[in-house]
Structure 1
Amino acid sequence: MENFTPWSALAGGALLGLSAVILLLFRGRIAGISGILSGLFTPHKGDTSWRVLFLVGMMLGAAILLPMGFSIAKVPQGSTLLYVLAGLLVGIGTKLGNGCTSGHGICGMGRFSVRSVVATVVFMGVAILVVLLREQLGWF
C-alpha cells in the first residue's frame, strides 16, 4: 500500500467495468478471464475470434502502458513448484466455482448474481486469511 494511487486505481476499475459492459452489450458474453481462456480450448463454431481479440487486447494494453511509466507488480522470488501448484489450485478453483474473480467480482456482482456475491465474499475472505497467515505467522 506504500505506492497506492487512488486515481489510477479508479481509472483502471472504470476501464475494466467499461470493457465488461461493452462485451456484455455487444456480444452477450461475460468478461470472466478464466471462461474466455478456457473457451479457446473448447471452441464452438464462430466463438473463438472474440476470445482471441479480448486476450490480445489485454496484452496490448499492458504493452502500450508500460513505456508510459506504468508498472506491473513484481512477483517475489519463490519456488517454481509452489507457483505451479498455486496456479493449478487456482485453475481447479475457478472450474469448481464456475468462474474467476473477474467473472464473479466484476460481472456477476454487477448483475446482482447471488452466486457471484457468495463467491466474491468467499475468495476475498480466503485472500485476507492467507495474507494474515503469511504476514503474521510467516507461513507460505
Structure 2
Amino acid sequence: MTLAGFPEAAPLAGLAGVVLIGLAAALMLLSLGRIAGVSGLASKAVGLGGSGIGRSSAWMFVIGLPLGALVVMLMSGGVEASFANPVTLAIAGLVVGVGTRLGSGCTSGHGVCGVSRLSARSIVATVTFMATGIATVAVMNALGLEVL
C-alpha cells in the first residue's frame, strides 16, 4: 500500500512498528516500573544514569536495539543508508546525546512514554521537537534543499 506523493511510504509497516513500540514501553513500565527512554537507559548502561533499572537490564535494552535492527535488515534483504557517511552519523549521534542530556530525555522517552502519561514536561518537549523539525524542513525547502 502506498500513499499519493509518498511512493515509498509503508503505512502498515509503520502501524506495526508503532504498536510494537507501545507494547514494549507498556511492558517495561508494568514489569519493571521503568520508562523506556533510550537516552536514560543508555546513560544507565555506561554508568552515567541514576537510580531505577539495573545496569545489566539497561545493557540488555541497549544491545537489543541494534540486534532488533539487524534482524529486520536480514529479514528484509538489507538496508541501504546512502544519506550520510559513518563520520557524519557519529557526530550527529554525539550531538543528539548532548541534546538528550540538556532536554532531560530523548524523543522516545518524552514522546512515547511521557505524553502517554500526560507529563506536562514531556508534552512541552514533544511540541518543541515537532516544531523544530517542521521549521527545519521549511527552511531547507525554502533554501532549495528539498527534504520532503
- Structure 1 vs Structure 2 CA RMSD: 2.5
Among 43, 46, 52, which residue is 1:41 paired with?
46
CA deviation digits over 1:20-60, x for unaligned, max 9?
01111111111110110011122679711111111222222
Offset of residue 87 of structure 1: 3.1
Structure 2 unmatched runs, 5+: 1-5
| Equivalent position SS for 2:9 | coil
Q: Indicate how the Cα distance of structure 1 residues 56 and 2 shifts in structure 2: closer, same or farther if over 3 A, else same.
A: same
CA deviation digits over 1:60-109, x for unaligned, max 9?
2222222221655725136946861x333322221111100000000000
Q: Is the 8 A contact 2:42 2:58 kept in 1?
A: yes
Structure 1 unmatched runs, 5+: none
Among 110, 113, 120, which residue is 2:116 paired with?
110
Give TM-score, length-normalised by structure 1.
Answer: 0.84
- 1:88 is the counterpart of 2:94: yes
Give TM-score, length-normalised by structure 2.
Answer: 0.80
Which protein has greater RCO, CA pairs closer than 8 Å, 6+ apart? 1
For 1:53-132, list aligned pairs within 5 A: 53-69=60-76, 72=79, 74-77=81-84, 80=87, 84=91, 86-132=92-138
Q: In 1, Cα distance between the equivalents of 2:64 and 2:80?
A: 19
Q: In 2, Cα distance between the equivalents of 1:52 and 1:39?
A: 8
